[in-house]
């Protein structure tokens, strides 16, 4: 593997390499939306798709993931060095697609003709062609205009070339110029990747460590906060800082990385200049600033001199936490939240006495016991020393690992294993079996507990793993054009949602009206209507059709399906 600290942290591979490895892709909500836009662009015919983002936000890695999900009937040309002339770009496209052309030619026309003949031949074979250009902000205007002209080749049904442009934010500014307005008008999908927020940064670090083979909380809470502040949520900077911090921890024979180690790593990665990432501020004029500072210190001294100091051994953080807890209890007793269920006596006691991880539970074994409890909800026993997700596949199930809040967990409506960060910064696991009002019913070790949702939100790292029932012969997302048992299974399920489809012969290929019906289902359930049947879509489809299996939320009294006379569609009401 070649990294010095591999054995020190029990890693299989480098967790924070800056190479665009799709295995390490952290799918935040916005990354999922971006990928949906790219898949939409590939599926739909003609035009341009635009994905922009700051340096290091994961555009190239996301594109590598897209290549893995590209349907088998799509030919892809991937250009990674766009600092080319028109002739060089056209020749590069020919090389990527395997198109023969006269070597050393300087004729645009000959190269364009060769590309056009290729596109027509592939269309006749029922294939699509996609051109992906990375770092597209470096394309000259005349090259962009030539790309637009390439998309002019079309049939009565569709254009024959799809182009995806990946670039930094200045690409949007370049496309806004008047001389490129025709190209800009052909962009059918746009998405801009933002940096990660604080919670996503923590989850990103945990995700990459887990993929590399380490499920321990290597970085303390304070260290992660400092990483986010300095990196501003840019994944590439996070990787550089974390890699250097782990190297420093290895050199110092330390396995828990604190804020001081991260600060030193930041200095080494970003240089001594402004290591904390703070901006220089204008100095306050001496006279005004001097009086203001003196007044501030006097006021602070007077205010604090009448307060009783905290008891010996109690930290300021603990005191502040206790005050916040008392304030929260007082507020809940005097002004209950609107539309919230009444708070019972047990919840008040939990609020007054902070909920704590049961002391008798072995935190080192928490993950294994949590997955055992999860499989038990499916009436299955997880064998000893067997990877939970590998075992799930043998039982017709699959694992879905997600980043999200309680809203996301509720929408998927399945019991899940959650990552929990305790007061010492260690990551432990519990199985949440159901949500009832303002309480989560969970299993920790072999102990059943009830956790107030505010406590769950406070300690939950917002990563979770759930199990779901897969279609027959399932091997991945079901995209338009997919054929086989999974496609027929999907069509059979969609036929139950619309009587008009149930009257047709159910084919073994997912296309046409079946894609249209799935898109409608996705709209009805708040999912991107991309027509791709991925885990989230299939989970909600199973819920809508009452497929047997455990649910996270209490069952709602089922309402008979109602028909709309105008469209003939059946809208299924489901929990």
| Sheet of strand 397-403: strand arrangement | 397-403, 460-469, 416-421, 427-436, 439-444, 447-452
pLDDT at 424: 61
CB 430 within 8 A of CB 365: no
Give 27's DSSP letter: -
pLDDT at 354: 59
Phi, psi of 359 (to 5 degrees): -65, -30
Strand residues in 33-174 grouped as ranges (E): 48-53, 74-79, 128-133, 162-167
> Which single residue is written with the structure tokens 């338009």?
480
Q: For the chain, give the mean pLDDT.
A: 78
- Over residues 444-453, the pLDDT tens digits come to 988 899 999 9
Mean pLDDT of 560-565: 44
CA proximity to 343, closest of 329, 356, 326: 329
pLDDT at 40 over 70: yes
pLDDT at 277 over 70: no
Share of residues in the chain with pLDDT > 90 (%)? 27
Of the pLDDT bands very low, low, confident and very high (cuts 50, 70, 90), residue 156 is: low
Phi, psi of 447 (to 5 degrees): -110, 130
Q: Are strands 439-444 and 447-452 parallel, antiparallel or unpaired?
A: antiparallel
Could you give the dihedral angle defined by the CA atoms of residues 400, 211, 475 and 405, in that order, rounded to the nearest 10 degrees? 20
Mean pLDDT of 163-171: 90
Fold designation for 363-469: Cathepsin B; Chain A (3.90.70)
Distance CA 381, CA 284 (A): 67
Map residue 495 onto helix, strand or coil: helix
Mean pLDDT of 258-282: 68
More confident residue, 72 or 202: 202
Of the pLDDT bands very low, low, confident and very high (cuts 50, 70, 90), residue 231 is: very high
Annotated domain spans of the chain: 29-193, 198-270, 363-469, 485-571
- Over residues 474-524, the pLDDT tens digits come to 877 888 888 888 889 999 999 888 777 666 688 888 888 888 889 899 988
| Model confidence pTM above 0.75 | no
Distance CA 459, CA 425 (A): 10
Mean pLDDT of 158-165: 88
Fold designation for 29-193: Rossmann fold (3.40.50)
CA proximity to 526, closest of 535, 536, 517, 516: 536
pLDDT at 560 over 60: no
- First CA to last CA distance, the chain: 48
Distance CA 415, CA 404 (A): 14
Indicate the CATH number for domain 485-571: 1.10.101
Which residues are paired to 77 by β-bridges? 131
pLDDT at 502: 62
For the ranges 399-403, 496-500, 509-513, 533-537, the lowest mean pLDDT is seen at: 496-500
Element (H, E) at 187: strand 187-193
pLDDT at 135 over 60: yes
- Sequence-distant (6+) residues with CB within 8 A of 73 are 126, 127, 128, 481
Mean pLDDT of 437-449: 91
pLDDT at 287: 39
pLDDT at 421 over 90: no
CB 15 within 8 A of CB 209: yes
pLDDT at 95 over 60: yes
C-alpha R_g of the chain: 28
Q: Helices (H) and strands (E) in the chain — how many of each?
A: 22, 13
Q: How many angstroms separate the most distant Cα atoms in the chain?
A: 89
Candidate ranges 265-269, 290-294, 455-459, 474-478; pick with highest mean pLDDT: 265-269
pLDDT at 1: 44
Phi, psi of 231 (to 5 degrees): -80, -15
- Over residues 46-63, the pLDDT tens digits come to 678 889 988 888 888 888
Mean pLDDT of 25-49: 79
Exposed e or buried b per residue across 235-251, where buried means at least 16 C-beta atoms within 10 angstroms of its C-beta: bbbbbbbbbbbbbbbbe
Of the pLDDT bands very low, low, confident and very high (cuts 50, 70, 90), residue 356 is: low
CA proximity to 243, closest of 397, 15, 548: 15
pLDDT at 426: 67
- Over residues 60-81, the pLDDT tens digits come to 888 888 887 787 888 888 888 7
Indicate the CATH number for domain 198-270: 1.10.8.60
Could you write out the DSSP letters of every residue in 442-490? EEETTEEEEEEHHHHHHHEEEEEEEEEEPPTT--S-B-TT-BSHHHHHH
């Amino acid at each position: 593997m070649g990294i010095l600290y591999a054995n020190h942290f029990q890693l299989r591979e480098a967790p924070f390499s800056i190479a665009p490895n799709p295995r390490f892709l952290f799918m935040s909500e916005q990354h999922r939306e971006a990928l949906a836009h790219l898949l939409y662009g590939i599926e739909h015919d003609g035009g341009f798709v635009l994905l922009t983002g700051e340096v290091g936000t994961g555009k190239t890695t996301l594109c590598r993931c897209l290549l893995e999900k590209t349907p088998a009937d799509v030919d892809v040309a991937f250009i990674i060095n766009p600092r080319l002339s028109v002739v060089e770009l056209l020749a590069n496209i020919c090389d990527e697609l395997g198109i023969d052309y006269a070597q050393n030619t300087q004729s645009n026309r000959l190269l364009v003709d060769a590309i056009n003949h290729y596109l027509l031949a592939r269309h006749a074979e029922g294939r699509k062609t996609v051109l992906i250009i990375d770092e597209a902000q470096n394309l000259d205007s005349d090259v962009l205009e030539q790309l637009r002209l390439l998309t002019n080749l079309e049939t009565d049904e569709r254009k024959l070339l799809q182009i995806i442009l990946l670039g930094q934010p200045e690409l949007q500014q370049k496309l806004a110029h008047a001389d490129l307005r025709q190209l800009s008008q052909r962009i059918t999908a746009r998405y801009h990747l933002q940096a990660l927020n604080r919670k996503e940064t923590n989850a990103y670090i945990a995700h990459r460590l887990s993929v590399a083979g380490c499920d321990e909380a290597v970085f303390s809470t304070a260290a992660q906060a400092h990483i986010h502040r300095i990196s501003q949520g840019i994944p590439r900077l996070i990787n550089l800082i974390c890699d250097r911090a782990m190297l420093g921890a290895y050199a110092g024979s330390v396995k828990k990385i604190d804020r001081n180690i991260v600060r030193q790593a930041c200095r080494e990665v970003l240089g001594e200049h402004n290591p904390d990432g703070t901006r220089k501020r204008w100095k306050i004029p001496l006279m005004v600033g001097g009086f203001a500072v003196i007044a501030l210190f006097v006021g602070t001294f007077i205010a604090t001199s009448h307060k009783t100091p905290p008891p010996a051994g109690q930290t300021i953080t603990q005191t502040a936490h206790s005050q916040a807890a008392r304030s929260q209890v007082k507020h809940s007793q005097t002004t209950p939240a609107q539309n919230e269920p009444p708070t019972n006596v047990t919840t008040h006691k939990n609020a007054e006495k902070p909920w704590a991880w049961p002391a008798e539970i072995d935190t080192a074994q928490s993950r294994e016991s949590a997955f055992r409890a999860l499989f038990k909800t499916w009436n299955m026993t997880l064998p000893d020393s067997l990877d939970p997700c590998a075992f799930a596949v043998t039982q017709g199930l699959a694992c879905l690992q997600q980043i999200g809040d309680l809203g996301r967990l509720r929408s998927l409506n399945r019991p899940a294993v959650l990552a929990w960060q305790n007061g010492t910064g260690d990551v432990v696991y519990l199985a949440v079996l159901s949500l009832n009002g303002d309480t989560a019913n969970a299993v920790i070790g072999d102990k059943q507990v009830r956790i107030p949702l505010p406590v769950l939100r406070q300690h939950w790292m917002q990563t979770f793993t759930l199990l779901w029932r897969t279609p027959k012969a399932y091997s991945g997302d079901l995209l338009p054009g997919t054929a086989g048992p999974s496609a027929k299974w999907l069509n059979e399920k969609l036929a139950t949602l619309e009587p008009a489809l149930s009257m047709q012969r159910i084919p073994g290929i997912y296309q046409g009206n079946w894609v249209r019906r799935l898109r409608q289902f996705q709209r009805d359930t708040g999912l991107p209507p991309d027509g791709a049947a991925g885990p989230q879509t299939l989970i909600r489809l199973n819920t809508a059709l009452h497929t047997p299996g455990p649910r996270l939320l209490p069952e709602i009294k089922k309402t008979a399906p109602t028909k709309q006379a105008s469209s003939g569609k059946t809208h299924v009401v489901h929990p």
